[in-house]
Amino acid sequence: MIIELDFTGQVAICTGGASGMGLLAGQKLAASGASVVLADIDEEAVMREAEAIRKHGFEATGVACDVRDFAQVDAVAKLAIEKYGKIDILINACGGASSRMRNCKDAFRDRDPEIIAWGLDVNLKGTLFFIRACIGNMLDNKHGVIINFGSVSGEEGSPGCMDYAAAKSAMHGITKSIATLGAGKGVRSCCIVPGPVLTRPGMAGMKTAIGRAAEPWELVDFILYLCDDKHGGFITGSSHLLDGGRLLAQF
């Protein structure tokens, strides 16, 4: 059976929208009829990617945003509402391990507290800020889907980057909280928990029971299924592990 997804007339915000799964989700949503706002700290890249989507005949806007700054986050939400009239979908794809993003190789016991704070700000506070900025419009319109990104690191732990593991494990509680708040009000939320994904070469070396890392589209197609009211409309408050069997006890 071929599942056809139709997001015509809907408006989506994708954080981390200049690359990886945030960008791919934005591209696929736009190709399925949505008006898409790509938000990313890399202004040049996000503007370039939005322009590329428009060149294919779809609707997209790029905007620079540091997710640690609520004023910037709120400005993205207001831009979406002012330009497109509403917010239907929020995909919180922005994130990354502080040890990698900040090139920090020391043991956690010696970790600069500023780097720990950076990791919590980007991976936890940034997600909460975007939810805070967008959920009011969704509740008012009685329609919305929020997708949060956990990580297999939040399930198995990460002694080298505890702030990342903590933030990603927190996505379960955040997702359930949104689902409870939105119950009966047209607002749903789900959490995606990826294992290794080939958004960067280093992921290829992570072991899975299947024997490979995921292709980005394998996760993004599932995300869009969850976002589609026709197919995913009965799914909310749940976390979905897509790890290729990495966490299997016998593996």
Q: pLDDT tens digits, residue range 238-251?
A: 999 999 999 997 66
Domain of residue 102, residue span: 11-241
Tally of domains in the chain: 1
Q: Is residue 28 included in any domain, yes or no?
A: yes
- In this prediction, residue 250 carries a pLDDT of 67
Q: Is residue 246 included in any domain, yes or no?
A: no
Q: Is residue 147 included in any domain, yes or no?
A: yes
Please report which confidence band the pLDDT of residue 176 belongs to, taking 50, 70 and 90 as the band edges.
very high
Strand partners, 189: 146
Q: Is residue 48 included in any domain, yes or no?
A: yes
Q: Is residue 207 included in any domain, yes or no?
A: yes
Q: Is the pLDDT of residue 1 over 60?
A: no
Rounded Cα distance between 77 and 37, Å, is 9
**The pair of three-digit structure tokens given for residue 205, joined into one six-digit string:** 């070396």
CA 57 to chain centre: 24
| Maximum distance among all Cα pairs of the chain, rounded to whole angstroms | 53
- Which residues does the annotation mark as catalytic? 164
Q: Is residue 2 included in any domain, yes or no?
A: no
**Cα 51–Cα 55–Cα 56 angle in degrees, nearest 5:** 125
pTM of the model: 0.96
Q: Is residue 250 included in any domain, yes or no?
A: no
- In this prediction, residue 2 carries a pLDDT of 61
CATH of the domain at 150: 3.40.50.720
Q: Is the pLDDT of residue 42 over 90?
A: yes
pLDDT digit string, tens, across residues 207-236: 999 999 999 999 999 999 999 999 999 999
Please report which confidence band the pLDDT of residue 200 belongs to, taking 50, 70 and 90 as the band edges.
confident
Strand partners, 245: none
Q: Is residue 3 included in any domain, yes or no?
A: no
